């Protein structure tokens, strides 16, 4: 490199030729030292406008995300696996080194797989499952509501396990279900408010579950303990999501949280319907 600069008649008297590569530099091509200034996460080096991510301009219809979350998170998407340059040259061959985009963004292979599972399977399941649940409850209420004379409702309110299941169902419906159903229609600000509201409802549910556990003197059946298990699981995963920004951990825990939402909403809805069906038979 020095010979090249001399051939270009670059004055080098009293000057040192330094090669900068990322966050390192060398004076002799052998010994490397760290720079005094640390590059920002999106920069390759502080000495040039070299960004890790490209800034290509495309129509909005061609942008990632225009086709939904699976544009990036789908199993067929190359977003996480596409190579991104780690170093422009390395070693004697001075060849570039590439790494998967997931490594650059701090995503583990498990997080990538669980993210794909969540967006390809869990979210559609929540979407169609919520629609089916709401339609089923409405259909049942219209056809059978008058015949049971609200004895099913009284049974739910009397049993702590049933009340806990209704609380779980309400918490899931007042948040994730609305986001899944109307996510493409609601502005981002409304989504943020809804998320905070869901967190508040979840905190109320945790307090209610603890109060039922401590104060209820009636016999606690299997549904009650399953409800306590569900509240504990959703509380732990929800608390992690509220307190961590680590992208890899969030993708894994988000998937577990959604799995819990599917499992325990199905269980809660089943308890709700079974209670009314039993009341109808008794009538």
**What is the distance between the alpha carbons of residues 157 and 183, in angstroms, rounded to a whole number?**
32
Q: pLDDT: is 97 or 58 the higher one?
A: 97
Using CA atoms, how far residue 63 sits from 143, 204, 208, 259, in Å, is: 47, 40, 45, 29
Q: Which of 22-26, 132-136, 178-182 comes out lowest in average pLDDT?
A: 178-182
Q: Is the per-residue pLDDT at 249 higher than 80?
A: yes
Q: Is the per-residue pLDDT at 24 higher than 60?
A: yes
The pLDDT score that the predictor gives to residue 106 is 84
Q: pLDDT: is 154 or 181 the higher one?
A: 181
Residues 6+ apart with CB under 8 A from 233: 260, 264
pTM: 0.70
Q: Write out pLDDT tens, residues 251-260.
A: 999 999 988 8
Q: pLDDT: is 140 or 27 the higher one?
A: 27
Mean pLDDT of 225-254: 90
Q: Strand ranges (DSSP E) for the chain?
A: 19-21, 24-26, 32-34, 83-90, 95-100
Q: Are the C-beta atoms of 81 and 75 separated by less than 8 Å?
A: no
Q: pLDDT: is 24 or 140 the higher one?
A: 24
**What is the distance between the alpha carbons of residues 198 and 153, in angstroms, rounded to a whole number?**
25
Q: 51: which DSSP letter?
A: B
Backbone angles phi, psi at 264, to 5 degrees: -80, -25
Q: Which of 43-52, 86-95, 120-129 comes out lowest in average pLDDT?
A: 43-52
Within 10 A of 210 (CB to CB), how many other CB atoms are there?
A: 12
Q: Is the per-residue pLDDT at 150 higher than 70?
A: no
Confidence of residue 62 (pLDDT cuts 50, 70, 90): confident
Q: Write out pLDDT tens, residues 177-204.
A: 666 666 666 777 777 777 788 888 888 8
Q: Write out pLDDT tens, residues 108-122.
A: 989 999 988 988 888
The pLDDT score that the predictor gives to residue 283 is 53
Q: CA geometry: angle at 186 spanning 111 and 262, to 5°?
A: 45
Within 10 A of 212 (CB to CB), how many other CB atoms are there?
A: 20
Mean pLDDT of 165-183: 70
Within 10 A of 114 (CB to CB), how many other CB atoms are there?
A: 22
The pLDDT score that the predictor gives to residue 13 is 82
Q: Write out pLDDT tens, residues 261-283.
A: 888 888 887 777 776 666 665 55
């Amino acid at each position: 490199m020095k010979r090249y600069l001399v051939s270009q008649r670059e004055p080098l008297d009293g000057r040192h030729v330094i090669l900068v590569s990322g966050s390192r530099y060398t004076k002799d091509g052998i010994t490397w030292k760290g720079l005094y200034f640390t590059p920002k996460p999106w920069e390759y080096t502080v000495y040039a406008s070299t960004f890790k991510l490209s800034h290509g301009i495309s129509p909005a219809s061609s942008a990632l995300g225009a086709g939904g979350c699976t544009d990036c998170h789908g199993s067929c998407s190359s977003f996480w696996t596409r190579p991104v340059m780690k170093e422009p040259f390395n070693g004697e061959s001075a060849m570039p080194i590439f790494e998967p985009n997931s490594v650059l963004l701090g995503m583990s292979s498990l997080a990538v797989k669980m993210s794909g599972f969540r967006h390809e399977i869990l979210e559609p399941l929540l979407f169609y499952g919520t629609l089916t649940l709401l339609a089923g409850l409405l259909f049942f209420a219209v056809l059978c509501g008058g015949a049971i004379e609200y004895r099913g409702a009284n049974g739910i309110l009397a049993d702590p396990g049933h009340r806990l299941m209704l609380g779980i169902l309400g918490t899931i419906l007042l948040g994730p279900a609305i986001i899944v159903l109307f996510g493409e229609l609601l502005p981002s600000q409304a989504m943020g408010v809804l998320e905070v509201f869901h967190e508040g409802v979840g905190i109320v549910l945790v307090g209610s579950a603890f109060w039922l556990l401590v104060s209820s003197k009636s016999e606690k059946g299997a549904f009650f303990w399953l409800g306590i298990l569900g509240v504990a699981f959703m509380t732990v995963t929800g608390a992690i999501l509220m307190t961590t920004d680590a992208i890899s951990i969030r993708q894994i825990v988000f998937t577990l949280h959604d799995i819990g939402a599917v499992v325990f909403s199905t269980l809660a809805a089943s308890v709700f319907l079974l209670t009314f069906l039993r009341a109808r038979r008794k009538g």
